[in-house]
């Protein structure tokens, strides 16, 4: 697998060209070849090294900054205007932008020689690519390494830079000198890349929040987020348990690939493998401020905690804990290693996490940031303040506690989103919201809607989860995305939004969703998805799903999710060939994985207790249905 596939995009043949032989940019609706070969007339001005070339010859590298006018710098000289070309400069350059020419090696090259180019559009995300003298290299990364909303403007940047390169080197130097006297240095500052806000809810069922069809708990703040962005109907976690699902969220890998199948592979003396780089590692390496708030659950020991895994700051619990007087609570401002004892009776984790999130974002300043905000709501033991319990007088017992916990989480999410709006950060922030796994109906009363199964199982109710994405101006608003996506996709998607290339030694199992969500790529992000959790396993290929899961017949069961998303009709007996096809897919994938690691007796006993409770609840449901 190409480790850069998530950033480079999956369909390079669909990438548009940037210009023709005359440097003109065609209208966006005309198909063009993926690798444009831009012819350039011979120019004697570039045939020999200039004084500037010779002056830079002894330098390790030279950099020339050229400020270009934001209003069609060549329109008055007879170049294309908006009237001649609907996709032209005047429409696409509403404000000033800067071209930064990195000339390597050591000097400006004569015609056709390679150089590195970085184009920066003021007021938008940073746009960067490396190019030869007359034609951009690596343009198969175009649709995913550059913010989708900037594609047309980026074409114009390329055209303008090509026009600028027709100047004599001495002219470029003169522009540089003039700019140093007449233009403030801040004018050349690049707009920061997108902020990343990843919100994780705990044990929310597919049918719980109000933005879901038939959602039973009012969640007006999350509903508003759904209206501003996208709601996913077929979003999947990578594992139906808390800890391994978080491995996928922060690494972009199937957790079983890294040897993590259940919670106990990430507790005690074990944690997320130290050689595994997280999303926070990669973003911090690109200059991001990073913070983890809430439930960690990727290792108890100090070497596994967030501040050792790419996060500048951590405020939360290393495992699951109570909402009041939480155990194993760490505030890295006090100590990254020593847990605090929370004595305040009014301290409520959901509210406290929102407080800290608002405080941290407000202090981040102009630096791009990544906030991982992982609530423990609505994991058991359910606890809620009286102010939230009072909102649901019609409910009793567990149902009332659950609704109150989810309402508190909704308010907490809303407070963070309010801050983004107040500070004008909405259009520069990619917000992703997802549940870590399906709801444990047998434990908390969570609802998975019409889906079969629960948390801890590989039925749809255990792995299909609520998910939202919002990035105003880039992603569509108020729409529904119906192709299958997975938690493993969030890392490559966040990296693409941040315009951070995936290092070649960082493999990813997920894909960059941005081209799919913006309509540039209408294909499914995934044809096939896999799961393995000890003796349970599943494979989804297209709309077909084969799985062996708790609560089933004890044999692999086959379902057509297009017609039976509730998995009520096992088609394995009627379609043995399809069953064998999918089972062979799973076996080939499974053969590449390490052996199951979670075989400790404590794990077996815990799973047994969970399965007993789940199966007892399932039997009760069946009796009630009759």
What is the C-alpha to C-alpha distance for residues 494 and 360, in angstroms, rounded to an integer?
20
Cα–Cα distance for residue pair 106/101, rounded to 1 Å:
12
- Using alpha carbons only, what angle is made at residue 221 by residues 401 and 388, rounded to the nearest 5 degrees? 25
* Burial (CB count <10 Å: 0-12, 13-18, 19+), residue 524: middle
**Per-residue tokens: 56:** 């830079």
CA distances from 365 to 362, 495, 500 (A): 7, 21, 20
How many beta carbons lie within 10 A of that of residue 323, not counting itself? 23
What distance in Å separates the CA atoms of residue 589 and residue 3, rounded to the nearest whole number?
18
Contact 6/516 with Cβ under 8 angstroms?
no
- Residues marked active site are found at 242, 297
Token digits of residue 429: 């922030």
Sheet holding 544-548, edge to edge: 528-533, 536-541, 544-548, 557-560
- What backbone phi and psi angles, to 5 degrees, belong to 114? -75, 150
As a whole number of angstroms, the distance between CA 306 and CA 84 comes to: 55
Q: Using the CB atoms, write b or e for 234-258: b if 16+ within 10 Å.
A: bbbbbbbbbbbbbbbbbbbbbbbbb
d(CA 342, CA 381): 17
Residues 267/506/534/453 CA torsion (nearest 10 deg): 90
Q: Which two tokens stand for residue 314?
A: 């951590």
> In whole angstroms, what separates CA 616 from the centre of its chain?
37
Q: The tokens of 119 are what?
A: 């184009």
Cα(554)–Cα(567) distance, rounded to whole angstroms? 15
Do the Cβ atoms of 437 and 237 come closer than 8 Å? yes
How far is 517 from 485, CA to CA, in rounded Å? 11
Question: Cβ distance 38 to 21 under 8 Å?
Answer: yes
Spatial CA neighbour of 103 closest among 117, 90, 93, 92? 117
Q: Are 560 and 568 in contact (CB under 8 A)?
A: no
Query: Are β-strands 536-541 and 544-548 bridged in parallel, bridged antiparallel, or unpaired?
Result: antiparallel
**Cβ–Cβ under 8 Å, residues 597 and 257:** no
Place of tokens 């199948």: 261
Is 200 in contact with 242 (CB distance < 8 Å)? no
């Amino acid at each position: 697998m190409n480790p850069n596939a998530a950033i480079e995009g999956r369909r390079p043949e669909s990438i548009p060209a940037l210009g023709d032989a005359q440097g003109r940019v065609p209208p966006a609706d005309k198909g063009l070849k993926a690798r444009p070969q831009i012819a350039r007339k011979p120019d004697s001005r570039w045939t020999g090294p200039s004084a500037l070339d010779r002056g830079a010859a002894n330098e390790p590298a030279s950099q020339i900054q050229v400020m270009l006018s934001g209003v069609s710098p060549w329109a008055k000289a007879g170049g294309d205007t908006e009237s001649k070309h609907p996709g032209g400069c005047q429409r696409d350059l509403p404000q000033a932008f800067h071209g930064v020419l990195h000339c390597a090696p050591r000097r400006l090259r004569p015609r056709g020689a390679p150089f590195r180019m970085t184009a920066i559009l003021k007021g938008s995300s940073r746009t960067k690519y490396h190019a030869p003298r007359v034609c951009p290299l690596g343009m198969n990364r175009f649709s995913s390494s550059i913010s989708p909303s900037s594609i047309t403007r980026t074409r114009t940047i390329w055209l303008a830079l090509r026009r600028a390169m027709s100047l004599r080197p001495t002219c470029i130097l003169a522009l540089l000198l003039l700019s140093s006297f007449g233009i403030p240095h801040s004018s050349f500052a690049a707009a920061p890349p997108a902020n990343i806000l990843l919100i994780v809810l705990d044990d929310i069922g597919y049918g719980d929040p109000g933005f879901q069809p038939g959602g039973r708990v009012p969640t007006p703040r999350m509903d508003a987020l759904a209206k501003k962005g996208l709601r996913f109907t077929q979003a999947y976690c990578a594992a139906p348990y808390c800890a391994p699902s978080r491995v996928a969220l922060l690494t972009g890998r199937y957790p079983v690939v890294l040897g993590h199948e259940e919670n106990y592979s990430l507790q005690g003396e074990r944690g997320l493998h130290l050689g595994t780089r997280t999303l926070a590692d990669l973003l911090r390496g690109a200059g991001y401020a990073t913070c983890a708030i809430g439930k960690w659950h990727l290792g108890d020991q100090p070497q596994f905690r967030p501040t050792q895994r790419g996060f500048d700051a951590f405020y939360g619990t290393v495992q699951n804990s109570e909402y009041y007087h939480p155990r194993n609570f760490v505030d890295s401002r006090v100590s990254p290693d020593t847990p605090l004892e929370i004595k305040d009776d009014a301290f409520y984790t959901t509210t406290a996490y929102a407080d800290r999130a608002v405080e941290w974002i407000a202090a981040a300043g102009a630096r791009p940031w990544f906030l991982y905000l992982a609530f423990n709501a609505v994991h058991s033991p359910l606890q809620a303040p009286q102010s939230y319990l009072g909102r649901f007088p019609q409910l009793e017992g567990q149902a009332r506690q659950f609704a109150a916990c989810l309402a508190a989480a909704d308010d907490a999410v809303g407070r963070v989103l309010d801050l983004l709006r107040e500070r004008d950060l909405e259009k520069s922030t990619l917000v992703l919201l997802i549940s870590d796994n399906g709801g444990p109906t047998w434990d908390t009363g969570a609802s998975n809607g019409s889906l079969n199964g629960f948390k801890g199982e590989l039925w749809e109710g255990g792995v299909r989860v609520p998910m939202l994405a919002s990035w105003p101006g880039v992603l569509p608003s108020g729409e529904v995305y119906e192709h299958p996506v997975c938690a493993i996709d969030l890392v490559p998607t966040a990296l693409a939004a941040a315009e951070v290339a995936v290092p070649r030694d960082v493999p990813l199992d997920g894909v960059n969703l941005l081209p799919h969500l913006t309509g540039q790529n209408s294909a499914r992000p995934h044809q096939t998805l896999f799961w393995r959790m000890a003796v349970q396993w599943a494979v989804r290929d297209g709309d077909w799903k084969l799985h062996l899961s708790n609560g089933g017949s004890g044999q692999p069961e086959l379902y057509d999710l297009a017609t039976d998303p509730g998995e009520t009709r096992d088609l394995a007996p009627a379609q043995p060939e399809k069953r064998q096809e999918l089972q062979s897919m799973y076996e080939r994938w499974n053969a590449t994985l390490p052996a199951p690691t979670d075989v400790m007796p404590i794990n077996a006993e815990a799973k047994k207790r969970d399965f007993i409770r789940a199966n007892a609840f399932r039997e009760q449901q069946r009796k009630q249905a009759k």
